[in-house]
Amino acid sequence: MKTIKRSIVAALGIALLTPLTNSYAQDVTTLNFQTHHSSSSLQGEALIRFADLANEMSGGSLDIKMHTDSAVVKASEAIESASMGIIDGDATGAGYITGKNPAFQFYGDIMGGYNTPHELIGWYKDGGGLELANELYHKFDMHLVGVFVATPEALSSTTELAGIEDIDGWKFRSPPGMESEIFASLGAGPVVMPFGEVFTAMSTGTVSGADASTLAVNKGLGLYDIAEHATYPGFHSMPIEHVAMNLEKWNSLSEAEQQILRSALDTIALEIVQDSTMLDRQAAVELRKEGVTLHDWSEEDRQAFREAAQAVWEDWSTRSPEAKAAYDSHIAYMTKIGILE
């Protein structure tokens, strides 16, 4: 809490970025959002476009400012800061707050579940996911406007990753939580470490690989200057990023303004899928020319990974009533669209 209070001082900087309104602009609602993404990243550019689209569609009733690079508060504090009104909205993801309730994992990344971003977004849109999520978000004074998802992430490795048999004994940098549990169940040795340590760890053999991001982003980070192998197309992880607002602030908006935010987010969500798909394809062409081996796992190996993941999902579902509700909903939707039998 002390850290959050200190963030209030940083939040005062918002005032420097917010123009003073004059007497004829009193009906303008200013909303300060924050994302951890840089302004030049795919997601950062898209979120700036989200703000611009919403402002334009509102006809001047909304003035949304998207602060990039965690300019106001730390990314790990953004959701709580929004719930307290320090900022109005957050664009990180539920994966940052699994400590508040394990159910947030099912809204942050259901590892090894859906095959494509469209399937995952479909659960939110057509499978009741958005309504179910908001039952949880509202308990923390937040409202989930919607989500966006890039392409599935790629594993990077200095050793071969041709199939599930290569996971046994594979040491790699992993995020904490569900992912580490899934890979450990398959015999891997997940190591939780800051991303900044990955290059040294891979160069010295402390780890053989890393889970970082999509193929294109990994390439941009320089991972394939060290790693000669990658899984592509990806399958193991598809982090869900959200646009969420302070609940009281959301409720203060008109129905038309709320719909504008949803529509603007729908627009950029589609663009992110299209753009990340194209960037991955371009990266794949370039990496193959550079001698990096891209491993496209067989359907049998992908299914074996999903079965291992399902066992961990089920365990997480026992950790809170809200987690059980989210798990049941995902399973029902995956069965409905043919992912699970």
CATH number at residue 81: 3.40.190.170
Taking the CA atoms of residue 50, residue 51, residue 54 and residue 58 in that order, the dihedral angle to the nearest 10 degrees is -170
| SS3 (DSSP) at 155 | strand
pLDDT band at 274 (very low <50, low <70, confident <90, very high): very high
Establish if 268 belongs to a structural domain.
yes
Establish if 21 belongs to a structural domain.
yes
pLDDT band at 149 (very low <50, low <70, confident <90, very high): very high
Rg (CA), the chain: 20
The region that residue 9 occupies, defined by phi over 0 for left and psi between -120 and 50 for alpha, beta otherwise, is alpha
What tokens appear for 321 in the block? 């009533």
Same domain, 318 and 174: yes
Q: What's the mean pLDDT in 157-181? A: 95
Evaluated on CA atoms 121, 224, 278, 42, the torsion sign reads positive
Same domain, 192 and 263: no
Same domain, 88 and 210: no
Amino acid at position 249, single letter: K
Same domain, 184 and 228: yes
Residues 298-316: pLDDT tens digits? Answer: 999 999 999 999 999 999 9
Same domain, 31 and 171: no
Same domain, 96 and 180: no
Mean pLDDT for the chain overall: 92
Same domain, 295 and 192: yes
Establish if 129 belongs to a structural domain.
no
Same domain, 316 and 167: yes
Residue span of the structural domain in which 178 resides? 155-237+283-336
Residues 191-241: pLDDT tens digits? Answer: 998 888 999 999 999 999 999 999 999 999 999 999 999 999 999 999 999
Q: How far apart are CA 242 and CA 266, in angstroms?
A: 12
Helix (H) or strand (E) holding 144: strand 142-149
Establish if 132 belongs to a structural domain.
no
Neighbour count for residue 296 (Cβ, 10 Å): 13
Tally the domains of the chain.
Answer: 2
Q: How far apart are CA 81 and CA 243, in angstroms?
A: 14
Residues 28-43: pLDDT tens digits? Answer: 999 999 999 999 999 9
Q: If you count them, how many residues does the chain have?
A: 341
Establish if 115 belongs to a structural domain.
no
Same domain, 180 and 296: yes
- pTM for the model stands at 0.89
